[in-house]
Structure 1
Amino acid sequence: MTALFFYGTLRHLPLLETVIGRPLEGVDLSEAALPDYVIHWADGQAFPLILPQAGGQAVGLLGKGFSDEDVARLDYYERVFGYDLKWVEVTGPDGAQKVQMFWPPETTYAAGPAFVLSDWAARWGAVNCRAAEEVMGYRGQKTPEDLGAIYGMIHARAASYVLAQTEDTVLGPSGNARADVEILATSNPYANFFALSEMRLRYRRFDGEMSPVLDRAAFLGTDAALVLPYDAGRDRVLLIEQFRMGPLARGDKGPWQLEPIAGRVDPGETPEDCARREAVEEAGLTLDRLEEIHLGYPSPGCVSEFFHIYLGLVDLPDGAAKVAGAAGEHEDIKGHLMPLDQALEMLDAGQIRVTPLALALHWLARNRDRLRNAA
């Protein structure tokens, strides 16, 4: 049996249990400290840093009684982030003792305030537990290094899942709900920037009986925020144009598409904050106000992606259209400024083929007079 010292997020017991894949029965847990170190947030991140400081005390969790399989699972998880086992001497209930801990790689992250586990757990605990479930599901299929390269998307998918648990439930007229689905098995046979989830399940039919056992699959995306910029005083909109993989993969001869500003909702970010951030990144616009247009699934039969679509009220003077985009994401985005009537004529003529933009323009046409009168 092995003794391990944890200074960071694995002190959160639900996360620790998720990683080892079992309850912590048989593991003796106590508080311990690593002398001459302190623990701070990595500034702007969802994890802590352990930093040398003479006289400091990095207070953490000492666990005794981990099995070889427990340690192997923990090692797989921690190597996703570049951590390695290292012997250290900590002070615990039985005095000074040598134990192992997962030591972080060299980092360039700036230190934030002192790390408080309860603060982290309130904001990130559920998301990181969900992300750990996906990570550990790849054990035996992918290397930790493979997962390290895509962990940002794993974390984003986890954040979308947790967000769905906190939203108001919207049921169909039948009243059937999640409790009417029995999931018998799940697997993720593919994961990279996106992932594919396969499930064996059955669900309650409208006649009240359970369906036969079925094999179903879903393409796992994340929540996304989309915003159509509109200047109510000038009655004009800004549309963006960029190269898109979907039309190319379909064989469309026009893979450059007009669409609203859009982007993935990052973990820890609200959809509204995402809409404002993307407006700056993709069009150089600082939005005055957001109006909710629609919240929903673009293709619920096979895709988990969820859209938060907004109208962004903003000043759009001549010259507001630019070529922009986040350089780190290799974005090349061109803005097009036009009267709303022109955009609606393009919609009627079939020249707008991105459905969220079509939906936003139809909504704007219906609310145009109200918005113009208010302006």
Structure 2
Amino acid sequence: MTTFFFYGTLCHGPLLRVVLGRDVQAIPGRLPDHSVFWVAGRAFPMIETGGSGAEGVLVADMSDEDVARLNYYEGGFAYQTRDVIVEAEGAGSVSAQVYFPDPGKWTPGAPWHLADWAARWGETVVTTAYDAMALYGLGDPAEIHARYPQMLMRGGSRVRAEAETPGLHLRRRAGREDVAVARKRQVYANYFAVEESDLRFRRFDGSMSPEVNRAVFISGDATVVLPYDPVRDRVLLVEQFRMGPHGRGDPQSWLIETVAGRIDGGESPEEAALREAREEAGLAIRELIPALNCYPSPAAMAEYLYTYIGIADLPDDAAGIGGVEGEAEDIRAHIVPFSTLMELVESGEANTAPLALLAYWLDRNRARIRSAAGA
């Protein structure tokens, strides 16, 4: 049996329970002469020598299976164990295993505190851990970690889906027992993923369907924002190359769209909308007006869209070339009058569904928005 000292995210009981697959008893502990920091740009911490001491928890009597599960989860983040002496509450000095990052792998950021991490990341990381541990024994931890930012996107999507159930008046109100999954497998995983499930679902006559095979494209939730200047009565549109029309065989694969992007794990839809406006168009949005949230293609895609009108100043020089260079983005922004937007949508030149949705939503609410802006 092995004793472990956890100083970071595994101090969070719900996460440790998912990783180990069982509940354990933990007691407070402290590792002298060490400090804990955020890993710069990441959702987890690292430990370094020096400082006033790292607070955490001790867990004793860990079995070989427990250790294997821990090594699988932590190994993907390039962490390895070392023997240390920890001060345990009520038990004095105790020898324990601690996960340290591989030298030079990560860069320390600000001091890390469990409560701060749990408030922003806790639910998302715990939900994501279910997906990671479902692959225990099936995949290389390093390969799984390479997709971890994308897995966090999906984790965040699940958290929002659980929390945002709308009022139901016409639709069936389903329970967890109304879908029975016999088998689920991930048949493709990169930036996006494809999953297949063998399942049965509740029919409208109350019986369960025969077992069927269904596939779903996993992409994570996205935010969509149409920048609008109510005083000048104009919008900002973006143009870029898109794989969807290219894969369809459309020679006109540069599309007119709204500002849009995936919602990162631990990020809110509003934060993502503001970030994408800065990245794609160098634009500061003053106010986000929620429009319609929706599934664009629910038969085969898990994607969910949060859409907004973004109130902003759009002078003539707001147009230009933008995008994140490190992500190979090449985006051209256009400033057009609202009337031109509607002409583009109705002629079919602007033929993306989120833009059409927001164009018609703005058409319906434009007078109210302009009046509130004093236009």
What TM-score comes out, normalization by structure 1 length? Answer: 0.92
> 1:130 matched to which residue of 2?
127
Identity in percent: 45
Structure 2 counterpart SS, 1:202: strand
Question: Judging changes above 3 Å, is the alpha-carbon distance between structure 1 residues 253 and 195 closer, same or farther for their aligned structure 2 residues?
Answer: same
Looking at structure 2, the residues matched to 260 and 12 of structure 1 have their Cα atoms a distance apart, in angstroms, of 39
Looking at structure 2, the residues matched to 126 and 315 of structure 1 have their Cα atoms a distance apart, in angstroms, of 36
Question: Judging changes above 3 Å, is the alpha-carbon distance between structure 1 residues 184 and 171 closer, same or farther for their aligned structure 2 residues?
Answer: farther
Structure 2 counterpart SS, 1:316: coil
Q: What is the CA RMSD across the aligned residues, in angstroms?
A: 2.0
> 1:71 matched to which residue of 2?
67
Question: Judging changes above 3 Å, is the alpha-carbon distance between structure 1 residues 111 and 347 closer, same or farther for their aligned structure 2 residues?
Answer: closer
Structure 2 counterpart SS, 1:147: helix
More deviation, 255-264/120-129 = 120-129
Deviations 1:141-184 (A, max 9, x none): 32111122111111111111111112143436143324332333
> 1:282 matched to which residue of 2?
280
Give structure 2 stretches of 5+ with no counterpart. none
Q: Does 1:167 align with 2:172?
A: no
Looking at structure 1, the residues matched to 188 and 80 of structure 2 have their Cα atoms a distance apart, in angstroms, of 27
How many angstroms does 1:280 deviate by? 1.3
Q: Does 1:335 align with 2:333?
A: yes
> 1:299 matched to which residue of 2?
297
Q: Give the residue type in structure 2 aligned to 1:272.
A: E
Q: Does 1:85 align with 2:81?
A: yes
The structure 1 segments of at least 4 consecutive aligned residues displaced by more than 6 Å after TM superposition are none
Q: Give the residue type in structure 1 aligned to 2:332.
A: K
Looking at structure 2, the residues matched to 182 and 171 of structure 1 have their Cα atoms a distance apart, in angstroms, of 22
Structure 2 counterpart SS, 1:275: helix
Deviations 1:306-352 (A, max 9, x none): 10111112221112211001112111100111122222112221111
Q: Is the 2:46–2:100 contact (alpha carbons within 8 Å) kept by the matching residues of 1?
A: no
Deviations 1:85-110 (A, max 9, x none): 21112222443232222112335534
Q: Give the residue type in structure 1 aligned to 2:356.
A: A
Looking at structure 2, the residues matched to 100 and 212 of structure 1 have their Cα atoms a distance apart, in angstroms, of 50
How many angstroms does 1:230 deviate by? 1.5
Looking at structure 1, the residues matched to 150 and 10 of structure 2 have their Cα atoms a distance apart, in angstroms, of 20
Q: Is the 1:199–1:217 contact (alpha carbons within 8 Å) kept by the matching residues of 2?
A: yes
More deviation, 142-151/298-307 = 142-151
Select the residue among 170, 179, 183 that pairs with 1:181.
Answer: 179
Q: Is the 1:282–1:333 contact (alpha carbons within 8 Å) kept by the matching residues of 2?
A: yes
Looking at structure 2, the residues matched to 270 and 309 of structure 1 have their Cα atoms a distance apart, in angstroms, of 13
Give structure 1 stretches of 5+ with no counterpart. none
Q: How many residues align structurally?
A: 370
Question: Judging changes above 3 Å, is the alpha-carbon distance between structure 1 residues 75 and 110 closer, same or farther for their aligned structure 2 residues?
Answer: closer
Q: Give the residue type in structure 1 aligned to 2:80.
A: D
Q: Does 1:213 align with 2:198?
A: no
What TM-score comes out, normalization by structure 2 length? Answer: 0.92
Structure 2 counterpart SS, 1:297: coil
Select the residue among 288, 313, 316 that pairs with 2:314.
Answer: 316
> 1:22 matched to which residue of 2?
22
More deviation, 349-358/176-185 = 176-185
Looking at structure 2, the residues matched to 72 and 246 of structure 1 have their Cα atoms a distance apart, in angstroms, of 41
Q: Is the 1:5–1:61 contact (alpha carbons within 8 Å) kept by the matching residues of 2?
A: yes
Looking at structure 1, the residues matched to 351 and 109 of structure 2 have their Cα atoms a distance apart, in angstroms, of 46
